[in-house]
Amino acid sequence: MPLTGCQSQQAAVHLTVKVPRTGHDVVFDESITQIDQVISRMANEFMRDYETPVTVNVEVFEQNQYDEAVVDCFDTDAAADVLYGDYFNISTYIHTGRVVPLDDAITDKVRNDVFEDLWDMSTVKDRVYMMPYLSRQNVFAYNKELFRQAGLERYIESGHIQSWSLSEWNLILDTLAANLPEAVYPMMMYAASSQGDTHIMTLLRAAGSSFFDEDGHFNLSTPEGVAGLRRIQQGVARGWFPPHSENLEIEDCSSLFQKGQLAIYMVNNASINRYGDTIGLVNFPGPDADGCATLFVSGFEVFDNGDAQKVQVAKDFIAYIYAHEELLSYAAGTLPASKRVSEQYGSQITGFDLFANNRGNVVDFTGNNPDARAIREVFYLHIHDLLMGTITPEEAAARLDADCNAIIDAGIAASKLHD
């Protein structure tokens, strides 16, 4: 006969939490270098405190393997119960019908503590499917010394994120192109893959384009949209970009900038530490005088893999994280989603006030469409052809609108939200 003790033991619920390999800094803990270290700490504390036995396994995958880690594991023992990642990657999975709404795991205290614009980006049809943990705001950085060498001292400022008019941008880029040393280039540009294409999307707002229409569809076949594309194509002839930039990756431009061979490159609040006072910050040229910046939000979502108990425990895991300010505080190194954590650690986070004050200039580069990742696999191909000069700006606008809107429409038609 089985022992009485064994009869009373409850089998542990097993959760699989998946997270992409991502560098991460925390202002009060130098031992943290990767986000999975933070999530492992969350998992260990949850296992210790949860009222019934639970095991949480944190699995790390590479940034370019979201689908392999998530979709390819549906209906297997390796399926993710909880996924952490960037919204522009994980939002796609909401429309598979497997991601559960989390409204019942959100207390009024938590709802009031998270910045409202992050809730907006976490919501589909009035239900919260993603829990924001942190964000990174992307702007341009310029190399002050290269600006001095080119005679652009008057544009160098410190202590705030600048904004330049489109005519100022053109003058600056033309001046850099004319005066920089050989093998040193004015500005980043790349179209070899979808990596970094979100910044090119933001650049296309330079001439006043809203990029999306009111229904969230691409809307580049307008005078403003075509002008933004034409400006990029003309930049090739005017020497604004490294040669053959259509064959470059964003990492190639990052390397050039770090070597002092690129005057203007994209940075965010988490990456400015490495440059100190050698750089100035400026918004992307945008539809108004203040310019614009991009916001990359990262957070959690929960999957229903057919086991109601595991879904509940996964939601309890999320609720546990957001009920503990200590666990939320590990976002302090970027821009925390928590207002309380922001207030407590903002003075220690490099550039926190700069980016907090720039929050009103942020644009949503996804348009809240159902398949942002599929769009990215098409978008860069047309930018590649535009940089090559094999298509006109008008043709690029028409092809981008047609191809990307077809993906959006297909995504809407196929979208299935969790019951």
Q: pLDDT tens digits, residue range 142-186?
A: 999 999 999 999 999 999 999 999 999 999 999 999 999 999 999
- Binning pLDDT at 50, 70 and 90, where does residue 368 land? confident
Instruction: Work out the pLDDT band at 373, boundaries 50, 70, 90.
Output: confident
Going by C-alpha positions, the residue among 316, 314, 337 that lies closest to residue 132 is: 337
Distance CA 65, CA 61 (A): 7
Structure confidence at residue 241 (pLDDT): 98
In angstroms, the CA 211 to CA 55 distance is 45
Question: In angstroms, what CA-CA distances link 219 with 64, 208, 210, 381, 409?
Answer: 28, 12, 8, 18, 14
In terms of C-beta density within 10 A (0-12 exposed, 13-18 middle, 19 or more buried), how is residue 105 classed? Answer: buried
d(CA 105, CA 316): 7
Q: In the predicted model, is pLDDT for residue 381 greater than 70? A: yes
In this predicted structure, what is the pLDDT of residue 3? 34
Helix (H, G, I), strand (E, B) or coil at 169: helix
User: What is the residue type of 92?
Assistant: T
DSSP summary character for residue 9:
P
Number of other residues whose CB lies within 10 A of the CB of residue 187: 25
CA distance 279 to 265: 10
Strands, DSSP E only, in 240-347?
Answer: 262-268, 279-282, 293-302, 335-336
* CA neighbor of 25 nearest in space, from 333, 242, 297: 333
To which residue do tokens 């829990």 refer? 131
**Beta strand pairing call for 262-268 and 127-128:** unpaired
Q: Are 82 and 59 in contact (CB under 8 A)?
A: no
Quote the percentage of the chain above a pLDDT of 70: 98
Amino acid 9: pLDDT:
58
Instruction: Quote the pTM value.
Output: 0.91
Identify the pLDDT of residue 2. 35
On average, the pLDDT of the chain sits at: 94
Q: Is the pLDDT of residue 5 over 50?
A: no
pLDDT of residue 366: 79
> What per-residue confidence (pLDDT) applies to 354?
94
Query: 262-268 and 131-143: which strand pairing?
Result: antiparallel
Q: What is the mean pLDDT of residues 253-263?
A: 97
pLDDT band at 64 (very low <50, low <70, confident <90, very high): confident
**CA dist list (Å): 364 to 5, 179, 302, 339:** 56, 35, 23, 21
- Residue 49, pLDDT > 80, answer yes
The predicted pLDDT at position 389 comes to 97
Other CB atoms within a 10 A radius of the CB of residue 143 amount to 23
